[in-house]
Structure 1
Amino acid sequence: MNILDKIIIDKREEVASKKKLIPLSYLVKSPLLEREALSLSQSILDGSGIIAEFKRRSPSKQVINHRDGIIEVVRGYENAGASGISVLTDTKYFGGSLDDLIQARDHLNIPLLRKEFIIDPYQIYEAKAFGADAILLIAAVLSPEEVTLFSQLAHELDVEVLLEVHNEDELKRSDLDHVDLIGVNNRNLKTFEVSLETSKKLSSMIPDDKIKISESGISSVESILTLKQFGHKGFLIGENFMKSDDPGKSAAEFIVALGYEN
């Protein structure tokens, strides 16, 4: 059993427990369900294209940053000129939480992406109830029917969808009609090997009306300039910023080097 399979098994148990503790009927009463979401798509097109991520740890790297708190980091990212913020909410493997998500929402004026292993509609209501403007759907762990249904539900809740793919098969079998952004994860979630060639290879297969996002393994301005030649508009960067002494400052220097004023 690979790490992704184990994560999904644990996630199903976690969601089942949450449903008992906090029923859907409670989530739908959240005042944030009526909040007008910010468009991550538009923010990417209008700005730097950087989606800066708050991530404490990961299964591949273990501890990345346990020093800096969520508010300090996301404020730093916004001031740096990020187009959006990604917040990991998985606790067991990434050290995140829904509390991180709602704290970030309370202190941000830019779009917020909930990065999570979503396997149940409940989590989409949860994302909206805790302040997310967009959600991540991972094609590797969902059926084509689930991608369609989850994307439609997200749009009903005024939440954008970033569909993550890792290879040509995942891209071809997914219904892309109801997703807003397509992310190419350069990290193989089964082996954790990283290659930017994945983003380059899949770029020509992504419809032109979808915003292309490159995820994972991006650590240099040169990489982004190269990926832009392949049509990528957005770039999700977490570890490169989070492992530094000052994630916000690191992001600011990176974005300035790209040619954007913060």
Structure 2
Amino acid sequence: MNDILNEIVAHKRAELILQKQAVSPEHLCTQVKDLPSRPSHRSMKQSLKTSSTGIIAEFKRRSPSKGWFNQDARADQIPPAYERAGAAALSILTDEKYFGGSLGDIRTACPLVSLPILRKDFIIDPYQVYQARLVGADAILLIAACLSTAQCRELACLAHELQLEVLLEVHRPEELDYIDESIDMVGMNNRNLGSFVTDVNNSFRMAPVLKQAISPMGEQAPLLVSESGIDSADTMAKLREAGFQGFLIGEALMTHKNLLDKPLNIL
């Protein structure tokens, strides 16, 4: 880890200390155990596999590199608009300091949409997996760059115990070792989390080795997702040819001036 990512994870550790003081891990676990089973139709992997768009539409108000996109964006308006426009799944940022989000955004959007919801955050502790399940998320993001392989597997296995799917985010060839049977989807991040520079060509460069890494897994192979820097239908078509079935798009949607008016039509 370095630069921005290192700063974010350090803040996340401090944040978790305060959260555990407010709500103990034991109490959080008890709350989650009392929840009903997840609805089967909210499988993110299955939704992406069968969708005509494959778009994971992201709800975020800001980013560390670009500042505020839409400070007043509402979780009761934009996620339902994404669904009406044809998204296959939703990604909701829950980091407050760097992305302007909260767990409350998932709690707000969840009853208003039928799409699977990804909790997108810097998850480094089992406590955050329980939080995701409690607020209604259907999947969690695990980032290889801020976890060891052992930590990643532990969190992924816990997610499955809690009926959550796992999107593993990788960026470099060295991180392909994180892929195993506990991973449902692999996201190739086109953004360098150290510098936050984005290059969609990273997905095209990495596609051959990524497909080679998952090919021995057969029907259980994780679904491939390209993340960030996607701003046109042509790019998505080329990525699909390269083997990707999911396309995570945030900034191109959140900065569109007619966000609530069929936002996916801009692609």
Deviation at residue 67 of structure 1 after TM alignment? 3.3
Alignment of 1:205-216 (within 5 A): 205-206=209-210, 207-208=214-215, 209-216=221-228
SS at match of 1:70: coil
2:236 maps to 1:224: yes
SS at match of 1:235: strand
2:48 maps to 1:36: no
Query: Can you give the 5+ residue segments of structure 1 that lack an aligned partner in the other structure?
Result: 258-262
Alignment of 1:119-130 (within 5 A): 119-130=124-135
Q: Counterpart in 1 of 2:15?
A: 14
Deviation at residue 14 of structure 1 after TM alignment? 0.4
1:63 & 1:181 partners in 2: Cα distance? 29
Relative to structure 1, is the Cα distance of residues 56 and 183 closer, same or farther in structure 2, using a 3 angstrom cutoff?
same
Aligned match for 1:199, one of 189, 199, 203: 203
Deviation at residue 244 of structure 1 after TM alignment? 1.2
1:111 & 1:21 partners in 2: Cα distance? 28
1:250 & 1:62 partners in 2: Cα distance? 24
Deviation at residue 72 of structure 1 after TM alignment? 0.6
Deviation at residue 23 of structure 1 after TM alignment? 1.3
Aligned match for 1:174, one of 159, 173, 178: 178
Alignment of 1:1-262 (within 5 A): 2-28=3-29, 29-30=31-32, 33-37=35-39, 38-47=42-51, 48-171=53-176, 173-206=177-210, 207-208=214-215, 209-254=221-266
Are the counterparts in 2 of residues 52 and 251 from structure 1 also a CA contact under 8 Å? no
Give 1:34's aligned amino acid: P
Are the counterparts in 2 of residues 203 and 212 from structure 1 also a CA contact under 8 Å? no
Give 2:163's aligned amino acid: D
1:7 & 1:129 partners in 2: Cα distance? 23
Query: Can you give the 5+ residue segments of structure 2 that lack an aligned partner in the other structure?
Result: 216-220
Are the counterparts in 1 of residues 84 and 262 from structure 2 also a CA contact under 8 Å? no
Superposed CA offset, 1:12-36 (max 9, x none):
0101111111112222314784231
2:183 & 2:76 partners in 1: Cα distance? 29
Superposed CA offset, 1:97-152 (max 9, x none):
01111101121111000000000000000000010000000000000001111110
Q: Counterpart in 2 of 1:260?
A: none
2:252 & 2:149 partners in 1: Cα distance? 32
Deviates more, 1:206-215 or 1:113-122: 206-215
Superposed CA offset, 1:149-168 (max 9, x none):
11100000000000000110
Q: Which runs of 4+ in 1 moved over 6 A?
A: none
SS at match of 1:51: strand
Give 2:246's aligned amino acid: G
Superposed CA offset, 1:207-239 (max 9, x none):
142210000010111110111111000000011
1:16 & 1:22 partners in 2: Cα distance? 10
Deviation at residue 68 of structure 1 after TM alignment? 2.8
Are the counterparts in 1 of residues 71 and 100 from structure 2 also a CA contact under 8 Å? no
Percent pairwise identity: 42
